[in-house]
Structure 1
Amino acid sequence: MTSTKGTGTAHGKRVFLVQRTFADLEGSQGPSAIARATGLDVATVYRILQDGLADGTFVQVKAGARSSYSLGPGAFRLSMQALAQTPGPDTTHAVLDQLQRSTDGLVAYYAVVGHRRICTDYAIGSFDPLSIGIDPFQLVKYSRSLRTGASGRVILAHMPPSIQAQVLAEPVPEGVGPGVIRDNNLLIESLTSIHDLGYAIGRQECMNGWDSVAVPVIWGGTIQGSLLLWIPAEKMPKDTSQLVAATLTAGETLSQLATAPWCSASAA
Structure 2
Amino acid sequence: MQNQHYPNPSEFRSGGTGHAERVFRVQQAFADLGGDVHGPGELAAKSGLDDSAVFRILQSGVYQGVFERVGRGRYRLGTGSAYLGLHALAHAPGDDAHAVLEDLRAATDGGLVLLYMLAPFGGAQRQCIDMAVGDSDLAELGMTARDLLTVTRSLRTGASGRAILAYLPEPIQRRVLAEPVPDGAGPGAIRDNEELRESLAVVRDQGYAAGREECMAGWNSCAAPVMWHDSIVGAVLLLKPAHVMPQPRPAVIDLTRATAAKLSRLSSNPWPAAY
Per the alignment, in what secondary structure is the counterpart of residue 163 of structure 1? helix
Q: Aligned in 2, Cα 1:206/1:239: closer, same or farther, shift over 3 Å?
A: closer
Alpha-carbon separation, structure 2, partners of 1:201 and 1:109: 16
- Give the structure 2 partner of residue 201 of structure 1: 210
- Give the structure 2 partner of residue 263 of structure 1: none
Residue 66 of structure 2 corresponds to residue 57 of structure 1: yes
Residue 19 of structure 2 corresponds to residue 11 of structure 1: yes
Deviations 1:232-254 (A, max 9, x none): 11110556211100000001111
Alpha-carbon separation, structure 1, partners of 2:129 and 2:169: 23
Match of 1:102 among 102, 107, 117: 107
Q: Aligned in 2, Cα 1:82/1:139: closer, same or farther, shift over 3 Å?
A: closer
Alpha-carbon separation, structure 2, partners of 1:144 and 1:254: 20
Match of 1:176 among 171, 185, 188: 185
Alpha-carbon separation, structure 1, partners of 2:165 and 2:91: 24
Unmatched segments (≥5 aa) in structure 2: 1-15, 269-275
CA contact (8 A) 2:118 2:233 kept: yes
Deviations 1:163-216 (A, max 9, x none): 111111111112211111111111111111111111000001101110000011
Structure number, greater radius of gyration:
1
- Residues 30-179 of structure 1 aligned to structure 2 (within 5 Å): 30-63=39-72, 67-87=73-93, 91-103=96-108, 104-113=110-119, 114-179=123-188
Q: Aligned in 2, Cα 1:239/1:138: closer, same or farther, shift over 3 Å?
A: closer
Percentage of matched positions with identical amino acids: 48
- Residues 205-224 of structure 1 aligned to structure 2 (within 5 Å): 205-224=214-233
Structure 1 runs, 4 residues or longer, greater than 6 Å off = none
TM-score by length of 2: 0.86
Q: Name the structure with the higher helix share.
A: 1
Alpha-carbon separation, structure 1, partners of 2:247 and 2:77: 47
Alpha-carbon separation, structure 1, partners of 2:22 and 2:39: 16
Unmatched segments (≥5 aa) in structure 1: 1-7, 261-268
Would you say how many aligned residue pairs link Structure 1 and Structure 2? 248
Alpha-carbon separation, structure 1, partners of 2:125 and 2:267: 23
Higher relative contact order (CA 8 A, sep 6+): 2
CA contact (8 A) 1:86 1:259 kept: no
- Residues 240-259 of structure 1 aligned to structure 2 (within 5 Å): 240-256=249-265
Per the alignment, in what secondary structure is the counterpart of residue 235 of structure 1? coil
Alpha-carbon separation, structure 2, partners of 1:70 and 1:209: 43
